[in-house]
Amino acid sequence: MSSQNIVVIGGSAAGPKAAARAKRLDQAANVTLLQKAPEMSMASCGYPYYIGGNFDNRDQLLSTPTGVVRNEAFFAGAKGVQARVNTEVTAIDRIKKVVSCVNVITGEKDTVPYDKLVICSGATPRHPPIKGINLEGVQALSEMRDADKLRELRDSGKVKDVVIVGGGLIGIEVCEALADSGMNVNVVEMLSQLLMFLDWELAKLVEKHVASKGVTVHTENGVAEFMGENGKLTGVKLNDGSVVPCELAVVSIGVVPNVDLARASGLEIGGFGGIVVDEHMRTSDSNIYAAGDCVEIPNRITGKKTYAPYGDLANLEARVAADNIVLGDSSTFPGTVNSGICKVFNFSAGSTGMSEKRAEAEGYEVVTATNASPDKPGFMGAKLLVSKMVADAKTGRILGFQCVGTGEVNRQVAEAAMAVMNGNTIYDIGVADLPYAPPFSLAIDHFIATAHILENKMAGLMTGICNAEVKEMIDGGTAPFILDVRSPVEFKEMRLNVGETLIPLGTLRNSLDKLPSDKSAEIITFCKISMRGYEAQRVLEANGWTNVKVMEGGIMAWPFKVEF
């Protein structure tokens, strides 16, 4: 077999993986990696941590675990891949099977022939057509040089006020990085919440935590104008007319796939603007594969195409593409369940599958349960987890799971991702055998306990109500009888102060005369995390009350003000 030419466009995440894997599978192949930027294999998800000063050596973003920078010499020596940086691909000739490229420093042009081509052209931050967006001080975070610039600004100590435009994953990570660096941070988000992968009431807990770190969060507000003097940013005017003075604005409102090359060469582009690929990561041209932030992939739950520009998926897609190029189309990539996680100061926030609002938008009839609990036994230094499980109302299949808090969110979301991918029901999880020891989890793991709550709800044993709905009733003056079943000590320390009645659970069976005599009156029970709230509901229903609801997650999941 004569050597085949494999050309990979793009050298960030998917590209290097595809190139290195292809070469490992076919040592005889000529593998060429063409990268526009001066760096390769950048750990771009690490940019916020570099910007925030978690480490000082930018080479760490570009290095192997043993500290070798992944430059051209590394790719040649260790990987057998001919990598060329500063090299922009300008055209793909699918008939001649050749790509044209130009060295962006020297202007030198070249062509590279291919037998198989992999397009890993990535994505570009959205650049909203807002007045003043090109002012000095308005900054995206996409390339290594953006990270360098933001780190430089941080180290200069010259930036006092910064506005983050967009409250998504990257926005929040940059918010933390800059706030921890001593800047005064404002976050502006058009929608009603941060982190759209969460449902509102969990996002609100994150927002509360972010605010507790001195960050000002503006939701349901957008940027009307970037204001400047002499070409430099001086402030941001919001849609509500208010002005936030700042020297720096970081715009991170999502990315769009880079498909100009693919489109110009006639490859099929999908409804989300990404390159269309089949389950083998093959484009509409059988000699061309694509992977990473430039493609559309299936949502594994709905089967519909989606756009999921995540670094982990880019690597897995690229591996599948390389396998199929060398070994024939034997490997398939099934798509995404939208698993994600981020650190938000002392909180972690993660999600997999669909939120309630997303599942409803997809047409599912859903049931949900919210669970607030410690992540470990109290004597092991427990920290809080607040989770919400979303399941199909007919089958109990878990469609999604979200978790936020200071506790061990990581394991929870990973377990849930496995459950969602496997199509597990709440009943499967209710009897799951997960690793337990006090340093690591509760005896009944939080994820299992959340499934139990949802089982109880589906079986009609527990009727839940969302705290946001309770708050709406209170604010609307239509609050029902609200029953706090915690202890007097707990009540004294912290309470909702919304007109609730305190009857500790232990005395409830003997205090039924303190409840509404009308057995059909709406009663809402809660406690710290609403385990006792649920016990109270069982007691009241056994005693004839017919309209009792548990405020899920209790006071620990209450995203509004509490009284101390």
**Residues 429 to 458 in contact with a copy of itself, rule: CB under 8 A:** 430-441, 443-445, 448, 452
Distance in Å, CB of 377 to a copy of itself, minimum = 6
- Smaller CB distance to a copy of itself: residue 233 or 515? 515
Q: How far is the CB of 206 from a copy of itself (least distance, A)?
A: 14
Contact flags string 492-511 toward a copy of itself, x per CB under 8 A? -------------xxx-x--
As measured in angstroms, the least distance from the Cβ of 311 to a copy of itself is: 5
What mask, x for binding a copy of itself by CB under 8 A, covers residues 509 to 528? x------------------x
Does 1 participate in binding a copy of itself (rule CB under 8 A)?
no
Q: Which of 42, 49, 159, 474 binds a copy of itself (CB under 8 A)?
A: 49
Selected from 36, 70, 79, 209, the binder of a copy of itself by CB under 8 A is 79
Q: Which is nearer to a copy of itself, 95 or 431 (CB)?
A: 431
Q: Which of 280, 388, 486, 549 binds a copy of itself (CB under 8 A)?
A: 486
User: What's the maximum distance between 2 C-alpha atoms anywhere in the chain?
Assistant: 89
By CB under 8 A, which span of 121-129, 200-208, 254-262, 485-493 interacts with a copy of itself? 485-493
**Other Cβ atoms closer than 10 A to 66:** 5
Q: Of the candidates 101, 9, 95, 20, which has an alpha carbon nearest to the alpha carbon of residue 287?
A: 95
SS (H, E, C) 532-553: HHHHHHHHHHHCCCCCEEEECC
Least separation, in Å, of the C-beta of 532 and a copy of itself? 7
> Which residue from 282, 305, 397, 411 is in contact with a copy of itself, where contact means CB under 8 A?
411
Segment interacting with a copy of itself, rule: CB under 8 A, options 55-63, 106-114, 270-278, 515-523: 55-63
Considering the complex, state which of residue 137 and residue 396 has its C-beta at the smaller distance from a copy of itself.
396
Q: Which of 2, 65, 365, 563 binds a copy of itself (CB under 8 A)?
A: 65
Q: Are the beta carbons of 218 and 189 closer than 8 angstroms?
A: yes
- Helix, strand, coil shares, percent, the chain, to 5: 30, 25, 45
The Cα 486–Cα 511 span in angstroms is: 14
- Tokens 């507790």 appear where? 212
* Site for a copy of itself contains 419 (CB under 8 A): yes
The binding track of 167-206 with respect to a copy of itself, each residue x by CB under 8 A or -, is --x---x---------------------------------
CB of 102 to a copy of itself, least distance (A): 29
Cα 7 to Cα 97, 111, 113, 319, 357, distances in angstroms: 10, 11, 8, 15, 42
Q: Which amino acid is at 530?
A: S
Nearest to 172 by CA among 144, 193, 200: 193
In 258-300, alpha helices (H):
260-264
Q: Which of 452, 355, 357 is nearest to 401 (CA)?
A: 355
Among 46, 132, 400, 553, binds a copy of itself (CB under 8 A): 46
- The rounded radius of gyration (Å) of the Cα atoms in the chain is 27
In angstroms, give the least distance from the CB of 333 to a copy of itself: 6
With H, G, I as helix, E, B as strand and everything else as coil, classify residue 188: strand
Which of 1-9, 50-58, 116-124, 148-156 is the region at the interface with a copy of itself (rule: CB under 8 A)? 50-58
Cβ closest to a copy of itself, residue 102 vs residue 539: 539
If one asks whether residue 424 binds a copy of itself (CB under 8 A), the answer comes out as yes
Site for a copy of itself in 293-352 (CB under 8 A): 300, 310-316, 319-320, 332-343, 348, 350-352
Q: Which of residues 349-388 bind a copy of itself (CB under 8 A)?
A: 350-352, 373-374, 377-380, 382
Report in angstroms how near the CB of residue 352 gets to a copy of itself at its nearest: 7
Is 193:207 a contact under the CB 8 Å cutoff?
yes
Closer Cβ to a copy of itself, 89 or 420, answer by number: 420
How far apart (Å, rounded) are the C-alpha atoms in residues 187 and 221?
10
Interaction with a copy of itself in 18-37: which residues (CB under 8 A)?
24-25, 27-28
The DSSP secondary structure of 113-144, one letter per residue, reads: E-SEEEE---EEE-----BTTTSBTEE---SH
- To a copy of itself, the closest distance from the beta carbon of 526 in angstroms equals 13
Which of 3, 78, 260, 287: binder of a copy of itself (CB under 8 A)? 78
E-strand stretches of 322-480? 340-344, 347-353, 366-374, 384-392, 398-405, 464-465
Residue selected from 276, 529, 548, 550 as contacting a copy of itself according to rule CB under 8 A: 529
Q: How, if at all, do strands 216-218 and 384-392 pair?
A: unpaired
| Closest distance of CB 278 from a copy of itself, Å | 14
What does DSSP say about strands 116-119 and 5-9: parallel, antiparallel, or unpaired? parallel
Q: How far apart are CA 44 and CA 179, in angstroms?
A: 20
- Shortest Cβ 193–a copy of itself spacing (Å): 19
Q: Which of 102, 224, 255, 421 binds a copy of itself (CB under 8 A)?
A: 421
CB of 82 to a copy of itself, least distance (A): 13
Single residue of 143, 408, 484, 500 touching a copy of itself by CB under 8 A: 408
Near a copy of itself by CB under 8 A: residue from 282, 358, 532, 549: 532
Q: What is the DSSP string of 370-411?
A: EEEEESS-GGGT--EEEEEEEEETTT-BEEEEEEEESS-HHH
Angstrom CA distances, 109 to 76, 81, 88, 91, 420, stand at 21, 20, 9, 11, 48
Per rule CB under 8 A, count of chain residues that contact a copy of itself: 108
Indicate whether 95 belongs to the interface with a copy of itself (CB under 8 A).
no
Measure the N-to-C terminal CA separation of the chain; round to a whole number of Å.
76
